[in-house]
Every structure is written in C-alpha cells, then in structure tokens.
Structure 1
Amino acid sequence: MISLLGAAFFFLGIHLFVSGTRLRDMLVERLGEIRYRAVFSIASAIGLTWLAIVYGNAPHIALWPTVPAARIAALVLVLIGFLFVFIGLTTPTPTSVGQENAVDRPVDGILTITRHPFLWGVAIWALAHLLAVGTAAGLVLFGTMLVLALIGPRAIDAKRARALGARWDLFASHTSNLPFAAVLAGRTRLRLASVRWWQWFGAFAGYALLLQWHAQLFGVTPWAGL
C-alpha cells in the first residue's frame, strides 16, 4: 500500500505542481516546448505504469460494500464517461495538447456541454469505479484519477489564458468547465447535432468491447455481483 500511495503522490504531483503552473513555463523556456512535452509524457507514462503495477499487487481491503445497485450505476456511468472521452478526443478543442488554434473555431458539439470533455469523462469513469470496487487500493487509484480530472481543468484554463490571451477569453465566455453550466447560464446553446455519427458509434463500440474484454484485461468481470 505504501508503494501505491507513493505512485499516487508522484502522478498527482507532476500534474498539480508542474503542468499548468509557472514552473511549466520556466521549464518550457529552458527545454523548449517539444522537449518539455517529451519529458513530461515520459514522466506521466512512468507514473501511470507504476500505479497500475502496484495496484495489482496491493492488498484489496474492503472499505464499503458494493451492492448490485452501485454496480449497475457504475456500468451506466462508465458508458457516459466513454461518450465524453471518445467524443472529446475526436473533437478539436484548445484544451487539448497541440490544438491551441482550435480556440478560433465556433463552439459546438460536446464543447457546448464542457470545454474539458476528456477530463470529465475520466472523472465519471473514476467515480464509477469507486462505486464498484469499494477497496482501499481502489480508493487510492481511482481517487487519484478523480482528483486529477477535477483539478486539471483549472490548470489547463490558466495555461491557455496566459498563452492565448483575448482569444481564450472569448472562447471561455461561450463555454464552461462544469458540464452544462454555460448552457444553463445562457452563454451558449446545446448543439449536439454536429457530433458525427461515427463519434457516437465509436464510443458505444469501445464501451461494448471493454465489457467484453474487461475480465481478460483486468482480471475482473464487470458483471460480478449482479
């Protein structure tokens, strides 16, 4: 469990105290954008691999019961998370790495829900697994991903505001971090018609494949306890 906590602190630390901060700006000045991204990507991959390995070897001490209703809710939440992640990754957005110029595109599709669809998808996925797993090791792993997904958007917003200035301010004024906040505030209209059919299909297909191969990939069937 100590190793799992160490991996969690490392993975959280490089994102919370480097990515999106003034320290990142200093490192980019010294290393250059390409080298910085390469180093940070390697560090992130190391942290994520470390988390995955030690999670598999950690004692899984139950903290709360995982009742069937919670597992059903988790299955629904993972589907919603897949929609946010897949459609978000396949939609040009200035909040993604290397897509800063998308700030000048009209706001539509999933960006009318949130300007951080990928991270909200991860947050929903992590919450689903917290409901379904209910162990101390699961709390550390999925809690780490949940915290990072919820805090990450603020760091990205600050980084983009420094880099893009008024262009970002205009984009941000028509979008929101919190899902549906801009729609409810009247700053944009919900426009999902621009989401392509293959984006919907890809998300549902990915979800179906995950359910089919979950036991082989992760050693746990998503239907356990139902």
Structure 2
Amino acid sequence: MTEWGEFALAFAAFLTTHSVPIRPPMRPVLIALLGPRGFTLAYSLLSLGALAWLIAAAGRAPYVALWHWAPWQNHLTLSLMLPVCLLLALAIVRPNPLSFGGAGNDRFDPVRPGIVRLVRHPLLLALALWAAAHLVPNGDLAHVLLFGVFAAFAALGGRLVDRRKQRELGARWHSLRAEIKAQPVFAGPASWSGLWLRLGTGVALYAALLLAHPWLFGVSPLS
C-alpha cells in the first residue's frame, strides 16, 4: 500500500459506512432484518470502528506540515471540548424528531424541547466544535483533511437532515418547528434533577477524555 493509500482507503470506508446503510433501499432492509434497536446498535458500532480506523490512519500518513504548533492552540482545544461534552450529554438518548440520533421521539414534548430550543441539531454542533478544536493544533495535511471534512459535514449536514426529516414528517415538521420556537429560550427544564445529572455526565466525560487521551491517541492535551 502506498504512503497515502491506507488513509484514502480508511476515508472511503468511513464515508461509505456513514452513507450507504442509512439510505434507501438499504436502511429499510437492515431495519427489517435487525430491528430498530439492532440497526442502531450495529450502525453505531460500524461507525465507531470506521472512525477509529480513520483517525489511526491519519496518524500513520506522511507528515506534511501546513502550519506550526503553538501552546495557545491547546488552550483553544481544551476550551472547546467542554461545550462539546456538555452538548453530547444534553442531546444523546433523548427525543429529538427534528434531527438524527433522537431516542423515543414519540415522547418529544415541543413545550419542553430542552436543548432543541437552542439548537435544532446539537450533535452536529458538537461535531463542528470537536473538528474545529482538533483542526487548529494539528496542522499537518492528513489531519487538516480529516478534521476539515468533519467540520464541512457538520456545517452542511443540518440542511441534509432537515430535508430528510421534512420528507418523513411532512406538515408536522413545520408545526413542530413553530411550536418549539414559540417557547421561551431559557424556559425551565422538565426535570432539574435530570438536567444536573446530564450536565454532571458531560463534565465527567470531559475529565475521562482528558485522562484517556494519552492512552488512546498517544498525546496528552494537557502537555
């Protein structure tokens, strides 16, 4: 395999695993075969595996410097990753019929939309911040391509998800958006204890990533 071959192959595998299984005709066939939960689990594991390979392949690609590292870049990464972890904690495994990744969407209450009142696609925003946080201190060509593609996908992905959800929900998509926008921006949560639990989970995730980063990627974000 050429010097850039593994990186190109990993990128192709990542894009394929994140597009083919979720589009017709594959998605309905896979859901019928695995069930909704089985499909979600299998797709999540496949996506994580492809992402892990892609990140590892970027680290093994030839080093072509585009800009030099500076200490302030680490501070930017550390600052952006906390809101990333909080967004993930507030959005994962909770109803959001207007975006992807929602769980129990039939239980969604537009009067108590939670994080959806502030941002319709919180997972895409988390992805954009994660990509930006890691793009700045990794100024070599392979990592710029890696995180740049993620940032572009996050920026454009909202429109793609909106179009898909409009096709699926029809007129209900517009009525949900209007009802959500009518709510106060800083309305109280349905459960304060649930909110604090999720925020605490986000902070714990942030701390866990700081501790695990040297072991997972060979680089300490605190150095």
Q: 1:156 aligns with which of 138, 158, 161?
A: 161
Aligned residue-pair number: 210
Identity of aligned residues (%): 30
Structure 2 residue runs without a partner (length 5+): none
- How far off is 1:211 after superposition? 1.2
In structure 2, give the amino acid aligned to 1:127: A
Counterpart CA distance in 2 for 1:192 and 1:34 is 41
Which residue is 1:115 aligned to? 120
Which residue is 2:59 aligned to? 56
Which residue is 1:190 aligned to? 185
- 1:76 has 2:71 as partner: no
Which residue is 1:207 aligned to? 206
Structure 1's consecutive aligned runs of 4 or more residues displaced over 6 angstroms after TM superposition are: none
**TM superposition score normalised by structure 2:** 0.78
Which residue is 1:179 aligned to? none
CA contact (8 A) 1:93 1:102 kept: no
Counterpart CA distance in 2 for 1:208 and 1:45 is 20
- How far off is 1:92 after superposition? 2.0
Q: Map 1:1-226 to 2 at 5 A.
A: 1-15=4-18, 19=22, 24-33=23-32, 35=34, 37=39, 40-41=43-44, 44-94=47-97, 95=99, 96-97=101-102, 99-174=104-179, 188-191=183-186, 193-194=188-189, 196-224=195-223
Higher relative contact order, structure no. (Cα contacts within 8 Å, ≥ 6 residues apart): 1
In structure 1, give the amino acid aligned to 2:73: A
- How far off is 1:153 after superposition? 2.3
Counterpart CA distance in 1 for 2:27 and 2:93 is 27
Which residue is 1:178 aligned to? none
- How far off is 1:32 after superposition? 4.6
CA contact (8 A) 2:95 2:105 kept: no
SS at match of 1:189: coil
In structure 2, give the amino acid aligned to 1:124: L
Q: After superposition, what is the alpha-carbon deviation per residue over 1:63-108, rounded to whole angstroms, capped at 9, x for unaligned?
A: 1122222221111011111111121114321122554424554343
Q: After superposition, what is the alpha-carbon deviation per residue over 1:8-32, rounded to whole angstroms, capped at 9, x for unaligned?
A: 244235545774xxxx233345555
Task: Give the aligned CA root-mean-square deviation in angstroms.
Answer: 2.8
Structure 1 residue runs without a partner (length 5+): 176-181
1:107–1:17: structure 2 CA closer, same or farther, 3 Å change rule?
farther
Counterpart CA distance in 1 for 2:176 and 2:146 is 33
**TM superposition score normalised by structure 1:** 0.78
Counterpart CA distance in 1 for 2:200 and 2:187 is 14
SS at match of 2:67: coil
